[in-house]
Structure 1
Amino acid sequence: MVSSENPKRDEYIAGLRELADWLEQNPKTSVPSYGEILLPLMANEAVVAHAAAAGLEVRYDSKGNASAVAKLGAVTYRAYGYADWDQHYAQHQEQRARDWADKNDMVIQPREGGAR
């Protein structure tokens, strides 16, 4: 094992090796039909830097969000970010609140004098 100056990274890699060994030693253990390791980097710029360091291609979706993918056998290692993380997070939180309200037969309304 090559040791880096990042002990948490070294620990993660060691854990992946232990998982692979354990799965190999326990052939009756089920595994997912696909495997995806997600690396949320929040901002597109971080994805671009990660991709450059790893020799990966950056792709953008229709909303301008970036991702870089390494396909390793049946496992996909996907780094991703957003064109505007703050906007994405705010929209996500709002949708969660609206979903909760719908599930509980409620409606979210703006406060009196609110912007909406």
Structure 2
Amino acid sequence: MSESSQNTARDKYIDSLRKFADWLEQNPDVATPSSERFLLPLTTNPAVEEFAATHGLDVEVDSNGNTEAVLHFGSIKYVGYGYADFGEFCKQNNEKQARNWADNNGMVIQPRDGGAE
């Protein structure tokens, strides 16, 4: 590691990226990863907007009102993303995972007594 900071986890991550890049360079017959995206979960749209403003990036908004801002390093993208309503996203994602698990295990999710599905 070059210059050390107060964030040892970050320093280790950066050092690992350098080691990986060196290894890829030293092993030209090895395939490169299929994904060229590093994801930075910023959770909220305002956090994405701040990230974008700090780095001079445009903010993209999808049909659900969620945002992302992308830094490009050649073919590699560093994608900061957030949600219009992170709590609602988590709720919907948890339900989807539970229903998939139930379907895959021959079960059905039903509402509790008196509750709506």
Q: Please say whether Structure 1 and Structure 2 have the same fold, judged by a TM-score greater than 0.5.
A: yes
Residue identity matched to 1:114: G
- Between the aligned partners of 1:66 and 1:105, the Cα distance in structure 2 is 36
Aligned length in residues: 116
- Between the aligned partners of 1:53 and 1:6, the Cα distance in structure 2 is 20
- Between the aligned partners of 1:110 and 1:33, the Cα distance in structure 2 is 41
- Between the aligned partners of 2:97 and 2:106, the Cα distance in structure 1 is 14
Is the CA contact (8 Å cut-off) linking 1:38 and 1:77 kept in structure 2?
yes
TM, length-normalised to structure 2: 0.88
TM, length-normalised to structure 1: 0.89
Cα offset, 1:9, TM superposition: 2.6
Where structure 2 has 5 or more consecutive residues not aligned to the other structure, the ranges are: none
Is the CA contact (8 Å cut-off) linking 1:56 and 1:68 kept in structure 2?
yes
Is the CA contact (8 Å cut-off) linking 1:36 and 1:77 kept in structure 2?
yes
Q: 1:57 maps to which residue?
A: 58
Where structure 1 has 5 or more consecutive residues not aligned to the other structure, the ranges are: none
Cα offset, 1:86, TM superposition: 0.4
How far does the alpha carbon of each residue in 1:44-76 deviate from its partner, in whole angstroms, 9 at most, with x for none?
111111111122111110000010011222211
